[in-house]
Amino acid sequence: MLTKKQHELLMLINERLEQTGISPSYDEMKDALGLKSKSGIHRLITGLEERGFIRRLAHRARALEVLKMPGDVAASTPASGDMAGDVGGTGFDAKVIHGNFKSLPGAVPANEVESVELPLYGAIAAGNPIEALRDESNRVSVPASLLGRGEHYALEVDGDSMIEAGIFDGDTALIEHCDSAENGTIVVALIDDEEVTLKRVRRKGASIALEPANKDFETRIFGPDRVRVQGRIVGLMRKY
């Protein structure tokens, strides 16, 4: 099953290939789908590739091949207890169980799920300490189940330095306020009281290393008095 944005992107790529034989650029895809950054397009393409709808051709720029298109889904809904048949002629036999899930013990209707309003302090970007980002007028609603005990806040992720950890540009990071963290934890780190960054922290002797999760970025090493932990990531929210 494709998300709305994945479906829109697949249609765009297929249409452009049929018209010109060349897939659109990432910038063209971004503008057509109304996304803020090309990292969002990267995620959508990866999702389409993982689901077998497209293939990236090696050693060729902007080279995408459409392998299949979404099959037509029957408009009628099967009766309770029926199983959906072959979807889109792909040979996938989708077993769908219908039932009244509200009657299950412990089930909570979606409109009754407890949520928490967290302050959204803006984008985490170089040159802005957390204190400078504080703006209590911006808040975000977060399911309480994503949070533990303690004080939390939210930050918008700006940049691609942590994409290999599944953290992408435009994501909302949920942060538990703390001033220390174990090695390997992804933290909000304040450098020299003026630069804030989201990185994996590792202590090596008397030094502190801030590691990115992207091979295009370098690990930075500082003395222990130059880095202060301002929180650790406990959750992530993403809009498509």
**212: nearest Cα among 149, 175, 159, 171:** 159
Give me the pLDDT at residue 4, please: 82
The residues, ordered by sequence, that sit 6+ positions from 41 with a Cβ below 8 Å of its Cβ are: 9, 26, 29, 30, 33, 35
> Residue 73: what residue type?
V
What digits encode the pLDDT tens for the residues 56-108?
Answer: 876 555 678 888 887 633 333 344 333 333 333 444 343 333 334 343 344 43
- Low-confidence stretches of the chain (pLDDT < 70) are 1, 58-62, 71-113, 122, 125-137, 240
Give me the pLDDT at residue 12, please: 92
Give me the pLDDT at residue 232, please: 92
Q: Are 144 and 174 in contact (CB under 8 A)?
A: no
Give me the pLDDT at residue 122, please: 67
Domains and CATH numbers, the chain: 4-66 (1.10.10.10), 114-237 (2.10.109.10)
Give me the pLDDT at residue 130, please: 54
Residues labelled as active-site residues:
161, 199
pTM metric for this prediction:
0.51
